[in-house]
Amino acid sequence: MKKWIVSVVVMVVLLSSMYLTKPTEDMYADWLLGVVIEKAGANQPLQETTLKIFGKKMIENNSEYNDFVFFTIHKTQFKGKEMKFIGVYNSFVPIMKEK
C-alpha cells in the first residue's frame, strides 16, 4: 500500500512540475530567435540587427503552437523546411522525423 501512495505522490509532483514549467509561445519565439542569431554568427552585424528587429515577428507568423496541458509542441516553417520542438521544463527538444 505504501508503494502505491509513493507512486501517486511522485506522479503528481512530476506532472505538476511539467504543467508549471511548460514554455509559452513567446518563450519559444525568443529561444528560436536566439538560436538563429547565434547561427548567423557575430561577424554579421547587419544580419544580426535585422534579425533582432524583424525576427521574432517572422517566427511568430510562421509558427504553430499546440498546448497539451503538460507540454507544448511548436512547429515552424521556414524556407520550405519544417522544424518541430517539444516544449517541456522551460526547454525545447527537437522532434526528429523518420526518413
What does pTM read for this prediction? 0.81
pLDDT by residue (tens digit) across 11-69? 999 999 999 999 999 999 999 999 888 887 667 777 777 888 888 899 999 999 999 99
* Residues ≥6 apart with Cβ < 8 Å to 29: 56, 59, 60, 63
**99 within a domain of the structure (yes/no):** no
pLDDT at 99 over 60: no
Q: How confident is the model at residue 97 (pLDDT cuts 50, 70, 90)?
A: low
User: What 3-state DSSP class applies to 33?
Assistant: helix
Cβ contacts of 94 within 8 Å, gap of 6 or more: 83, 84, 85
pLDDT for 80: 84
CA–CA separation, 3 and 39 (whole Å): 48
> Which domain covers residue 17, as residue numbers?
2-94
The count of structural domains within the chain is 1
Tell me which residue has cell 534579425. 51
